[in-house]
Amino acid sequence: MSEIFEAPLLNELQRDSTDPLAGPIVVRNAPEQIVERLVTAVALGVYVPGQALPPERELASLLGVSRATVREALRRMTDSGYIEQRRGRNGGSFVLEDWRPSSADLIRRHLLPNWTRFEALFDTRQLLEPVIAATAALRRNDDDVAALSQALDDYHAATDREESRVADERVHRAVAESTHNPVLVGLSAQIRTRISLDLGAEPYTPEIRRVAAVQHGLLADAVIDQDSERASAIALEHFGLTEKLVRDLVARVRDLAILETDE
């Protein structure tokens, strides 16, 4: 198994305190920034209605803020009807709905100021992941084949959304590790983290799962068959799924802004 480089490998992937797309929450009103990021994550399918948000302590760690700041953000989301607080053994902060009238403005404030950075992130991924897939096909060994096959089996055996998402990440990790290049493994993981808004999971919808189920199998076959050209082409198509989801959301909130201006 490849050792992962945990330190940032490219300046543009480093956390930037002025960048609302990811990284620690600083500048402006911290609780409001957390609300904006979480509402955006819900709209993208990172979290879905009925799902619990990560525990307060985990959110504080992910976002680089105090638990008191997270608690205030969750209180605001509760008051606005985005989430509800449930007590008891299976309690937590549960998402109520994926879109409210105020969602568009919060999403615009979170994504649009640095949309050019997200564009650069998508471009980097579209350039990098096909190279990773092609290299994996050329360098994979028997242990890599076993790991990739197991990850793919786990993906198909997943019975719920969270199992599917965890297995999805394992498939991509297995492909990256087949390159035997820890820098490529680390870069792939960092890009995934940035696209997830630093919340630990990429946007994930039923449609993405349906299409990915087919593409994962095709990608695994190409890597196992050592067909680097086919692996590269499949990866290029596959990693466009999340990009389309984010672009569609941005187009939606921009269109709503135009409609609101015309009214």
Tell me: the pLDDT tens digits for 70-87? 999 999 999 999 999 999
Q: Is the pTM of this model over 0.75?
A: yes
Are the C-beta atoms of 53 and 71 separated by less than 8 Å? no
Q: Which sequence spans correspond to the domains of the chain?
A: 20-111, 114-259
**Domain topology for 114-259:** Four Helix Bundle (Hemerythrin (Met), subunit A) (1.20.120)
Question: What b/e readout covers 128-150, taking b as 16+ CB neighbours within 10 angstroms?
Answer: bbbbbbbbbbeebeeebbebbee
Please write the tens of the pLDDT for every residue from 179-224: 999 999 999 999 988 888 877 677 778 888 889 999 999 999 999 9
Which parts of the chain sit beneath pLDDT 50?
1-9, 12-13, 15-22, 262
CATH node for 20-111: 1.10.10.10
Are the C-beta atoms of 49 and 98 separated by less than 8 Å? yes
Closest CA to 212 of 253, 156, 263: 156
Contacts for 111 with CB less than 8 Å, ≥ 6 apart: 20, 21, 40, 118, 246, 249, 250, 253
Distance CA(178)–CA(133), nearest Å, equals 9
Q: What percent of the chain has pLDDT over 70?
A: 86
